Amino acid sequence: MENLIVKGNANLSGKVKISGSKNAAVAILPAVAITAENVYLDNLPDITDVRTMIEILENLGVSIRRRGKNALELTPGNLSKIAPPYELVKKMRASYYFMGSLLARFGRAEVPIPGGCDLGPRPIDQHLKGFSALGANISIEHGMITLSADKLVGAHIYLDVVSIGATINLMLAAAGAEGRTVLENVAKEPEIVDLANFLNAMGASIRGAGTDVIRIDGVRSFSGAAHTVIPDRIEAGTFMLAAATTRGNITVEEVIPKHLEAITAKLREIGAVVEVEPEKINVKAIDPLVPTDIKTFPYPGFPTDLQPPGMVLLTAAEGLSVITENVFDGRYNHVDELKRMGALIKVEGRTALVEGGSRLSGGPITAPDLRSGAALIIAALTADGESRISAVEHIDRGYENFEQKLINLGASIQRVSEKGYKQLSYNRE
């Protein structure tokens, strides 16, 4: 177990290069299983979730060679297994994308029901409804989902809820089905467009990704491809929100500003100064922050993944702000920890009332999940005193070199093991 010791009253300033997108990478890696030809992937973030995906692919029989820290060459020609192991699958939700890719290539997949961040109930009914419409037989027994189809056939599928996961899984399966599939009411996130571009580079015929209707003409086989993963808009947004919260001055570099418009608009509304250039965005807070409301929605709305750091920002704006979490039922894991730091927050159902303006104070904090963990680090950076953040493995799942990037911006953060922390306290006495 590792902890981060974070000194408060930080004022972050400087430039930070944004890594490749976690949520694009964890969709693109399982998609590699759809082809038997070699694939080259670049700009993969070096994070635990990507390492887990690589382990799953290797376990299934894919040979992988590293080409530097963020690039891989993958040879899926010998992929022979259709059942990723439970020990790896349980570590991350996106492992269920192997349902779509293995079904498309082999007509069969056996995937344990996945784990992932605890954000309240996370059903997969839309994935299963879509697979069934494409002609797959589905059985769920002893925690295992088994899908099989002699032949997948294109279908017209209307999603009842806008789901990133279901859109990706159905795009993968339909890419290998016979005939045309039309997916309606799908998610429009940039990560979906990135996956569609990768699949098209391998010979798929997918049109409309990025809109709410995607048309897919199935193909029999796929070629190899080379692909560069898009920048991580959630990582970029986290640093942009941290800049305003700590009253700092941060430039996020190598980003696609279009993907960040909801954040840019919200930061301006709250009183931060945001300057946008073709591949970078500068955020600084000069005037006092003013309270504002945040409502999370699927893209292009304000992302639910940035609601936790958004809430920390609102604690720094004097007055009452309201957050409405529209995507997940239970995405307020960070609230109890923020309250322990002195934040005035009241949650009722999907709504959180944040009375900002009083200073937070550091202390022992536990990171409950990935984005909440990142938000609590920002809270610790802006608080009075020192904080010890435990369960940082959640943060390592999805942010590449998070603490080092913050240190480069002027933060004082030290990573210590449980044992090391005792040693550190001992040294200070």
CA distance 134 to 272: 48
191 near 21, Cβ under 8 Å? Answer: yes
Separation between Cα atoms, residue 238 and residue 307, nearest integer Å: 10
- Amino acid letter for position 288: P
| Number of helices and strands in the chain (H, E) | 15, 23
Which region, judged by CB under 6 A, interacts with ligand EPU, from 298-306, 314-322, 332-340, 421-429? 298-306
Distances (CA, A) of 57 to 26, 31, 50, 171, 319: 11, 10, 11, 20, 50
**With binding defined as CB under 6 A, does residue 26 bind ligand EPU?**
yes
* C-beta closer to ligand EPU: residue 318 or 329: 329
370 binds ligand EPU, rule: CB under 6 A: yes
Among 328, 332, 402, 421, binds ligand EPU (CB under 6 A): 328
Among the listed residues 163, 246, 249, 333, the single contact to ligand EPU using CB under 6 A: 163
Stretch that binds ligand EPU, among 162-170, 199-207, 270-278, 418-426 (CB under 6 A): 162-170
Residue number with the smallest Cβ distance to ligand EPU? 165
Residue 174 appears among annotated catalytic residues? no
- Which stretch, 120-128, 201-209, 236-244, 374-382, contacts ligand EPU (CB under 6 A)? 120-128
Using CB under 6 A as the binding rule, whether residue 58 contacts ligand EPU is answered as no
- Give first-to-last CA distance, the chain, whole Å: 23
Contact 184, 208 (CB under 8 A): no
123 makes contact with ligand EPU (CB under 6 A): yes
Q: Is 165 in the site for ligand EPU (CB under 6 A)?
A: yes
Q: How far apart, in whole angstroms, are the C-alpha atoms of residue 208 and residue 214? A: 5
Cα distance between residue 121 and residue 170, in whole Å: 21
3-state secondary structure 150-165: CCCECCEEECCCCCHH
If one asks whether residue 35 binds ligand EPU (CB under 6 A), the answer comes out as no
Here's the x/- map for ligand EPU, 330-369, by CB under 6 A: it reads as ----------------------------------------
Asked if the bond preceding 300 is cis, omega within 30° of 0, the reply is yes
122 binds ligand EPU (CB under 6 A): yes
Report the run of H or E that residue 168 belongs to, with start and end: helix 164-175
The total of other beta-carbon atoms located within 10 Å of residue 114's CB is 22
Using CB under 6 A as the binding rule, whether residue 135 contacts ligand EPU is answered as no
C-alpha dihedral (382, 384, 390, 392), degrees to nearest 10: 20
Partners of residue 75 on adjacent β-strands: 63
Closer by beta carbon to ligand EPU, 21 or else 249: 21
- With CB under 6 A as the contact rule, the residue among 181, 238, 292, 304 that binds ligand EPU is 304
CA distance 379 to 343: 10
- Does position 126 bind ligand EPU by CB under 6 A? yes
DSSP run (H or E) holding 197: helix 190-201
Which listed residue (4, 88, 117, 204) binds ligand EPU by CB under 6 A? 117
Looking at the Cβ atoms of 249 and 366, the one nearer to ligand EPU is 366
Least distance in Å: CB of 62 to ligand EPU?
A: 20
**C-beta of 70 vs 167, nearer to ligand EPU:** 167
Catalytic residue among 39, 47, 50, 117: 117
- Smallest distance, ligand EPU to C-beta of residue 221, A: 27
Question: Judged by CB under 6 A, how many residues of this single chain contact ligand EPU?
Answer: 26
Helix, strand or coil, per DSSP, at residue 144: strand
Residues that are catalytic: 117
Sites of contact with ligand EPU (CB under 6 A): 22-23, 26, 93-94, 117, 122-127, 161, 163-166, 187, 303-305, 327-328, 370-371, 398
